[in-house]
C-alpha cells in the first residue's frame, strides 16, 4: 500500500484505473439488481410499480441536470435519443417480465453476459468495427452458453423459462444500443441518467402509479422502500453514472469486460436470497459465457477491435 501511495501513476493509467473501478462497481450493482428484481417480481410487486420507483428516484435526484438540458438536449439526434431512452422504461419492463420466468442464475449469462456480444455486433454492423483475434472465439463461447441455457429451458423446464430467455436477450440488445448511443451522444453520465430517468418516469406514470397505490394499500411499504434504494439510488443513479464513467475511460467494449463478475455474483447471491440453486445446464452456461466475455473483452490480448478504414 505504501509503494502505491508514494509512486505516482502514469498520467494515462489513472483514468484507466478509475474506469476499471467504475466498471467493477457497476457489475456489483447489476448482480444486486438482478437478484433484487427477480425477488420483487416473484413476490407480488408489479413490474410497472417497481419501474416507477426505479426511475422516479433518479428523476427527482437529477432534476438540476434535467432543468439545464430540458426534456431533450440540444444537438442530440432523434436516433441517439431513442437509443438512450431504450435503456430506460422499455429495457426495465422487458427484463422485469423476463425475470418472472427465468431463474436468477440464468439472468446473468443472458443479460450482462450477452451485452458485450450485442455491443460488438452493433459496432460491426452499424459502425464498421472489425472483430479480430480471440474475441471471435469469445463470442462463440457466449453463444454456446446461451444455446446451452436456452436449449435446457425449451426441452426440460416446465415453467416457460424460454420466454424469459428471449426477453432477457431483447433487454441485452437494448443495452448494447444504449452503449453506442451514449458513447456518441456527447452527454455526461449524469446528463444521460437524468434524461433516461425523467422520460422513463413520465412514460411509466400512468401505468405504475395505480399499481404502486395498490401495493401500498396492501401494507407493502417496506418492500417498496427497499426497491427505491436498490432500483432508484443504486441502479438508477449510481449504476448509470458509473457505467458512463467506465465507457468514457475504457471505451464501449472494455467497459463490458468485467460483466462476467455479475454473472457469477448473481448466481451465488440467488442461492441464499431466492433459494434458487442453478441447474447443471445453468452452471455450464455460466462457465461458457463467463469465459467468452473475458476473451471477447480483449483484456487478454490488446487490439481486438479496430475501426474499419
Segment 267-272 long-range contacts (CB within 8 Å, at least 24 positions apart): 267/104, 267/105, 267/108, 269/31, 269/32, 269/35, 269/104, 270/35, 270/38, 270/103, 270/104, 270/105
The predicted-structure confidence for 172-218, as pLDDT tens digits, reads as follows: 999 999 989 998 999 988 899 899 999 999 999 999 999 999 988 88
Supply angle C-alpha 56, 182, 266, rounded to 5.
65
The predicted-structure confidence for 16-59, as pLDDT tens digits, reads as follows: 888 888 888 988 898 898 899 998 888 878 899 999 998 998 89
The predicted-structure confidence for 132-159, as pLDDT tens digits, reads as follows: 777 788 888 888 888 888 776 555 555 6
Give the pLDDT score at 3: 37
d(CA 267, CA 265): 5
Helices (H) and strands (E) counted in the chain, each on its own, are 16, 2
d(CA 173, CA 127): 16
Query: Is residue 110 within 8 Å of 125, Cβ to Cβ?
Result: no
**The whole model's pTM is what?**
0.80
Give the pLDDT score at 206: 93
Collapsing DSSP states into helix, strand and coil, what is residue 304?
Answer: coil
Give the pLDDT score at 202: 94
Instruction: Determine what percent of the chain is predicted with pLDDT higher than 90.
Output: 22
Query: Is residue 96 within 8 Å of 41, Cβ to Cβ?
Result: yes
Residue 301 has pLDDT above 80, yes or no: no
Euclidean distance between the first and the last CA atom of the chain, given in angstroms as a whole number: 44
Beta-ladder partners of 129: 307
Residue 88 has pLDDT above 90, yes or no: yes
DSSP 32-83: HHHHHHHHHHTTT--HHHHHHHHHHHHHHHTHHHHHHH-SS-TT--HHHHHH
d(CA 90, CA 109): 20
**267 conformational bin, left if phi > 0, alpha if psi -120 to 50, beta if neither:** alpha
Query: Is residue 103 within 8 Å of 158, Cβ to Cβ?
Result: no
Residue in the structure block whose three cell numbers are 426497491 = 227
Give the pLDDT score at 102: 85
Residue 300 has pLDDT above 50, yes or no: yes
The mean pLDDT value of the chain amounts to 82
Amino acid at each position: 500500500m505504501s509503494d502505491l501511495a508514494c509512486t505516482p501513476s502514469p498520467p494515462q493509467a489513472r483514468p484507466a484505473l478509475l474506469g476499471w473501478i467504475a466498471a467493477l462497481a457497476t457489475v456489483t450493482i447489476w448482480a444486486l439488481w438482478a437478484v433484487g428484481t427477480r425477488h420483487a417480481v416473484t413476490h407480488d410487486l408489479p413490474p410497472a410499480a417497481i419501474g416507477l420507483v426505479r426511475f422516479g428516484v433518479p428523476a427527482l435526484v437529477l432534476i438540476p441536470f434535467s432543468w439545464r438540458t430540458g426534456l431533450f438536449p440540444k444537438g442530440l439526434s432523434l436516433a441517439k435519443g431513442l437509443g438512450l431512452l431504450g435503456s430506460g422504461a422499455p429495457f426495465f419492463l422487458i427484463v422485469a417480465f423476463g425475470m418472472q420466468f427465468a431463474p436468477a442464475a440464468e439472468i446473468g449469462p443472458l443479460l450482462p453476459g450477452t451485452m458485450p456480444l450485442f455491443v460488438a455486433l452493433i459496432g460491426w454492423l452499424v459502425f464498421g468495427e472489425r472483430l479480430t483475434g480471440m474475441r471471435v472465439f469469445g463470442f462463440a463461447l457466449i453463444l454456446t452458453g446461451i444455446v446451452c441455457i436456452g436449449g435446457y429451458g425449451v426441452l426440460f423446464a416446465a415453467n416457460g423459462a424460454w420466454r424469459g430467455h428471449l426477453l432477457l436477450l431483447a433487454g441485452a440488445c437494448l443495452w448494447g444500443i444504449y452503449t453506442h448511443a451514449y458513447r456518441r451522444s456527447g452527454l455526461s453520465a449524469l446528463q444521460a441518467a437524468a434524461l433516461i430517468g425523467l422520460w422513463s418516469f413520465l412514460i411509466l406514470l400512468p401505468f405504475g402509479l395505480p399499481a404502486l397505490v395498490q401495493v401500498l394499500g396492501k401494507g407493502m411499504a417496506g418492500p417498496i422502500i427497499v426497491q427505491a434504494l436498490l432500483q432508484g439510488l443504486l441502479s438508477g443513479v449510481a449504476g448509470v453514472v458509473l457505467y458512463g464513467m467506465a465507457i468514457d475511460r475504457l471505451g464501449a467494449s472494455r467497459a463490458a469486460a468485467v460483466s462476467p463478475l455479475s454473472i457469477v455474483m448473481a448466481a451465488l447471491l440467488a442461492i441464499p436470497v431466492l433459494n434458487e440453486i442453478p441447474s447443471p445446464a445453468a452452471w455450464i452456461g455460466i462457465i461458457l459465457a463467463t469465459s467468452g466475455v473475458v476473451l471477447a473483452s480483449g483484456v487478454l490480448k490488446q487490439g481486438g477491435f479496430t475501426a474499419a478504414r
